[in-house]
Structure 1
């Protein structure tokens, strides 16, 4: 197997192909993550503010997340009018999944903001929208970061499924290996997918630490 792997990677064409699919995989997995955050935060804020719609939104998100990804990839072109092989279908589908996955963490994070902090911000003249951006979200970062890590890894995994309908990404290496009965591209695809998930996860951990400097303060300094 190692000889086959070395022979596969020794080809400049193969390395160029792998690099292009890796870039495509990053785009297809991280773009929906950004869009999903942009959707989940305002929807989660509405659910946080208006408890009557919370159950409806959470139930809808749970139902959406149970829809098989391959089925959603196939259905979306008929809804938004794109071609079946268009990568936009994967972006839209994973944006929906990410939004559904992040909705509960957003609500829980906003619920976890201490009441006395929000009361103080309101007393200082912060309107709801400004308080959300300046007070609530910064304090909710630790809980949101945990949800983002799950969403990012989930997207990186689900993008591979898109190769079954002809979109790009590292999943193409899997389909190529299965089609040719050649193990080398499958191994490369698996390793790169795992490494990509690890790098993105560690990056989100670092981003969380950067956004929450107060959590690095020593316990004795806090007291």
Structure 2
């Protein structure tokens, strides 16, 4: 399962189950939950677990018994597994709906291309400019390094550089954004300016 952008935290449940933990133990527990959410599992060796918990090995070994009691065998967490599955299902449904909406809105790409061609033609003083319907997604060194790296071992691909609303809209739909979303047009504008960030997308798809 791919990494998920956000994690629900039920504060009452968390506070109740961690009432006996020290500050170090509580912080380590939360960091382990975050890592589990991102990866779907946790490593089994103390060195890597201590690194995730941001404790030195001695402090980790002291805190481990209290924290381990809140997990299942092999550092599993059935509650988070259920929440991750629900979040992943919701994400996939939104992606599928976004693709369906994009197909309905653009069809074979002619509708949006006409709008682009007319606007560009008017800006150049040519009222009858030809529609632009060809794909113009290109790579750019400035964007190849623009990734969002999570706390665990996952990273996202660079957001591509595009030149038309058609390309931007199709790419955004593939990420699960609905063409009818309030911020969809705003994301298209930012993408065309080269200013779109993964956080803009996460705010809508979360």
TM-score (norm 1): 0.19
More helix by share: 1
| Largest Rg, 1 or 2 | 2
